[in-house]
Amino acid sequence: MVLDLTASSVDLTRAICDVPSVSGDEKTLADAIEAALAPFAHLEVIRHGNTIVARTALGRTQRVAIAGHIDTVPINANLPTRLIDVDGEPYLWGRGTVDMKAGTAVQLKLAAELSDPAIDITWMWYDNEEVEASKNGLGLLAAVRPDLFVADFAILGEPSNGEVEGGCNGTMRAIVRTSGVRAHSARAWIGENAIHRAAPILSRLAEYRAREVLVEGLLYRESMSAVRIAGGVAGNVIPDVCEVEVNYRFAPSKSAADAEAHVRSVLAGFDVEITDAAEGARPGLDAPIAQQFVEAVGAEPRPKYGWTDVARFSALGIPAVNYGPGDPHLAHHDEERVPLAQIDAVERGLRAWLSSR
């Protein structure tokens, strides 16, 4: 396929959304992005796997990294995209419109057009964001080319309703296990039912009250939830093992070690195995360049409740924010859709800031 970077951000969003790129299947879109950027003399284009980097080298005093992922969660009869009307407002409907190809399209258009920005820019489009961290294209690139991550500020185009969302919550997954003894279900009293023993785990999680934590002026909301339960052997067997998968979202003031201690405290008395953890990112909005950006786009900073790759930049000491079109509540939704006006507004905001001197 061929991407036309002279098209409007809306048309470009539609074009890249209509290229299926579920995590692990991004090559076609990555090829198209690389080919579309190659003719622009003001950009050095670098490829690592299915991650594409394009950067300026104009000798500016500051550099900003602007990143977006090109993969989506699985399609569920929501491609190709189509234009729809919601309460008199035009939307683009379809998988990836919110998370986060509208943001990606804006970035591609601006990368092509801003040949003389006020700040040097490192643009990044990466694969496998929606799956386990070990496959994340941004993380894999950082491991081999840390030099590409040198920046004074970073922006991730994750959906934020066109507002600025500072930092992000951390996330942790754990498996909580119960054990029992197998027996024939007609003689249930001979065995010990591991699924029944999971009831107190579910009760504790149902009764858990989310904490609100103030971090650098932004109020982050935590949560701890059961997200999967597995157990059972056969329709006539008392199960001897049950596993409850728990996801804890924690404020960026906590370390992963703090989060683990809290999970173990809430689920004390049970076998808990931590299977995945990613620390959050503090807002970083006290940095002068971050304040200039917020003022330029005219946004009121808010907290980011979900985990995003801003945490990767934060871990490197780079203040980072989320700024992109689309309602995060509609990410991964079967009715995923983005207002056309938000795509245009985010393009205008980024263009104005990157061009101002």
Catalytic positions: 71, 129
The tokens 């003022």 sit on which residue? 295
Long-range contacts of 29-38 (CB under 8 A, 24+ apart): 29/70, 30/70, 30/125, 30/127, 32/1, 32/2, 32/3, 33/3, 33/70, 33/108, 33/125, 35/2, 35/3, 36/2, 36/3, 36/4, 36/5, 36/108, 36/112, 37/5, 37/108, 37/111, 37/112
Q: Which of 302, 309, 297, 300 is nearest to 347 (CA)?
A: 297
The tokens 């795509």 sit on which residue? 343
Q: What angle do CA 150, 67, 255 make, to 5 degrees?
A: 70
DSSP 8-state secondary structure symbol assigned to residue 66: E
Burial group, residue 135, by CB count within 10 angstroms (0-12, 13-18, 19+): middle
Q: Which region, left, alpha or beta, applies to residue 203 given φ > 0 means left and ψ of -120 to 50 means alpha?
A: alpha
Q: Which residues contact 182 (CB under 8 A, 6 or more apart)?
A: 191, 233, 237, 238, 239, 240
Sequence letter at residue 280: G
Q: Alpha-carbon distance 88 to 267, whole Å?
A: 48
